[in-house]
Amino acid sequence: MAAAFDTTSLQDTLQLPFPAATKQVAGLVNGIQTDVTTMNFSDKIMVTISQAGRLAHWLHVPMENLNPGTEGMHTFSEGDDSLLPLQSLTTTTILGGYSAGQDTTGQLLARQIATAIATKTPNENRLLVVGLGLGKETPDRDAFFAIVDLVLQCL
């Protein structure tokens, strides 16, 4: 006959932080209430940017750096392009992205967010998931930077 299974040893391995660390910030972008939320899971970072309470476009950016010689750390250039998103980051739309302008803006926003995370934590290797629910119009330069500023407040 088999011995009873001792569950007390499982208690030590299941001590995960719950709930996931969450931050929220809200602000006006072109006069529209914009809500930004970040959630840090053990294997993913989720950022949502919502206007009018909707999320219509989902993207992901693998943060893992597989370049040889970098030991998993993201490397940054010192030149004029140091403020541009990292070229090594690849953004993929997983849901939504209904128009060419919206899809391009969403991918640029996701790469800019991933670059900000990599700048803050160069050895970050979790998957970044970005949910967007922006208005129908493609954001202009000022709106784009206002959205990035809200996200930076959450990171």
CA distance 145 to 10: 47
- Residue 78's pLDDT is what? 55
Alpha helices for the chain (secondary structure H): 10-13, 100-120, 141-154
Question: Token match 């809500």: residue?
Answer: 35
- Interval 99-116 mean pLDDT: 86
Distances (CA, A) of 91 to 47, 101, 127, 146: 14, 15, 11, 21
Dump pLDDT digits (tens) for 19-74: 788 999 999 999 999 999 999 998 999 999 999 888 989 999 998 866 545 555 55
Please tell me the pTM assigned to this model.
0.78
- Write the CB contacts of 80 (distance below 8 Å, at least 6 apart in sequence): none
- Residue 77's pLDDT is what? 53
